[in-house]
Amino acid sequence: MIKIKFPDGSKKEYEKGISVIEVAKDIGEKLADDAIAAKLNNELVDLSTKINKDSNLRIITFKDDAGKEAFRHSSAHLMAQAIKNLYPDVKFAIGPAVDEGFYYDIDLDKKLTPEDLIKIEKEMDKIVKENLKVERTKLTKKEALNLFKDNPYKTEMINELEDEKISIYKQGNFIDFCRGPHVPSTGKLKAFKLTKLAGAYWRGDAKNKQLQRVYGISFPDKKQLNAYLTLLEEAEKRDHRKLGKELDLFSMHDEGPGFPFFHPNGTVIINILKDFWRKEHAKAGYTEVITPIILNRNLWEQSGHWDHYKENMYFTKIDNQDYAIKPMNCPGGILIYKTRLRSYRELPMRMGEMGIVHRHELSGVLAGLFRVRCFTQDDAHIYMTEEQIKDEIIGVINLSEKFYNLFGFEYNVELSTKPDNAMGSDEAWEKATAGLKDALDAKKMKYKINEGDGAFYGPKIDFHLKDCLGRKWQCGTIQLDFAMPEKFDLTYEGKDGKKHRPIMIHRTIYGSIERFMGILIEHYAGKFPLWLSPTQAVILNINDSHIPYGEKVKQELEKSNIRVETDFRAETMPKKVREAQLKKIPLIITVGDKEVKNKTVAVRTLDGKVYFGIKTEDLIKKMQEIIDNKSSEIKF
């Protein structure tokens, strides 16, 4: 007999060799039905796995992140089998689960169309109805290479594996090598939708062959799938690229792919975001600096960017010397720190910079404001002693919370640890990681650990914002760095009169002003709160005799720094109201005979409420109150 311990601490004895799914059935039929995989002694395994010793066991369902990943990875295999059935000459590259579902990169002479996706879905349905068993076996590397000898992509990946035993998954006539786990049979994959087609270079390298990428999404049942598709429809209505054009906020041009052009309306929003950032950072003890966009190669070699980040950088020559356009602000800020000897009394030193940075992104991943090649990073670098780490990290977290709460974002926190290409000693990384953990624990914040996903110079805390549709966006980051101060020989004079090494924090809150603006456009569906709206009010007249009074109201609003427009065209009132609503202007002010006579205005809000008989001075007072409080609601 063996003992199996469950997550609630309970234990139960079973016959040696019992399978995971049999244990799940013993616990309950509902759990067995929902089961996708399991965590056996902290290792993800298939439900068919036999248990031969005392173990810890947790059944994984679709509610778990690991369950979603296994389910959607299985869905990628299902899609691949359907494609293979329809197009036997296809060659498969990679087919992972991703945050938004799953995809498979395929090498196929025929260019797939949306109509082909429908055919593939029908074939997937057939395979689901066949309820094919998904079986895992292990092959030697030699056997695996022989099995996939006609597929250059698979053989390349297999050759890179260090393991001599390679796991293979088979369902019907389809075979793929994969570490798993997967669902026990294709019948589990009841609800799916193929969502789009795209091009993708093999290994993300433009020098390699371009493949076709087929995307999909899947759920355990049709209800969840339909809810998701409804969400997609809503997201499409909120697409910041579409709204950006409709609201005249920004544009993208072939003359500068990945470089956004901001129109007057968009520039108003960006300047408001910057102004709010500057005021809040001044309150929090930050000073602001400006550093050059182009700096000498020697600096980038010293910082480590030349070795670790060169493929993402742009270069130029000046006076026959190599220069780089900055992808990050930190080296320039470090040069400012080094201009004189610093004292311990100056620490912590908090230096912020709204710095424009350039990063080379492949054309295939550019996406409106979400992925650009030039953006404004709301950077700040904090120089401090080791004793100040915890308090400074908490200070950054508190400031970040203030920003995110203002815009109505919920958020999750992730802690990313040492990557393979890390600079610095293990000891420094351990200290830095412990410093971040201490601050998060002191704040009693829940956080997920991402092993090996830190920056090359230090571990980091990332904030993932959740918008009104439940989508997640990675924005703010806090990176603790022992390496850069060492590389640049940064020092401060301590109480003992000796030189000591400071520690750095690299941090952003917006992350990128441009990307944050894109998120806000979709979060608010273009209906910005009054304080953030490019045009806060528009004045409409009923006929030409009301124009002089309308102009007077406009002047009074402008004196109070309210952004106001007029629409005195000879159009019907319903048409002018409708057009103002399409522009998402928060307040529509109407003047007619009654308003001229009583020296009042009528005010309509975007939610359709209309308020009559409001004095201009009362309107201004109320608007200023809403703007000053940065309220998301307008009530009179």
Residues annotated as catalytic (active site), given as ranges: 330, 359, 377, 379, 381, 460, 506
What is the crossing angle of helices 114-130 and 65-86, to 10°?
110
| CA separation, residue 610 to residues 472, 494, 539, 603, 616 (Å) | 35, 64, 14, 6, 15
In the sheet with 135-140, reading across from the earlier edge strand, the strands are 135-140, 165-171, 174-177
- CA–CA distance, 594 with 574 (Å, rounded to integer): 18
Q: Which of 503, 478, 393 is nearest to 441 (CA)?
A: 393
User: 146 is written with which tokens?
Assistant: 């022989």
Tokens 């091009």 identify what position?
199
What element of type H or E holds 460? strand 460-466
Q: Is the peptide bond before 348 cis (omega within 30 degrees of 0)?
A: yes
Please give the DSSP secondary-structure letter assigned to residue 111: P
User: 148 is written with which tokens?
Assistant: 């996939």
- CA–CA distance, 188 with 75 (Å, rounded to integer): 10
User: What φ, ψ does residue 631 adopt, rounded to 5°?
Assistant: -75, 150
User: Collapsing DSSP states into helix, strand and coil, what is residue 472?
Assistant: strand
The alpha carbon of residue 507 and the mean position of all alpha carbons in its chain are separated, in whole angstroms, by 16
State the pairing for strand pair 587-591/537-541: parallel
The alpha helices in 419-474, defined as continuous H runs, are: 426-442
CB-count burial class (<10 Å; 0-12, 13-18, 19+) for 458: buried
Bridge partners for 97 per DSSP: 102
Residue 230 neighbours by CB distance under 10 Å: 10
Q: Which of 522, 429, 515 is nearest to 236 (CA)?
A: 522
User: Collapsing DSSP states into helix, strand and coil, what is residue 588?
Assistant: strand
- Max Cα–Cα distance, the chain, nearest Å: 95
Triad 625, 631, 636: Cα angle to 5°: 55
User: What φ, ψ does residue 222 adopt, rounded to 5°?
Assistant: -65, -30
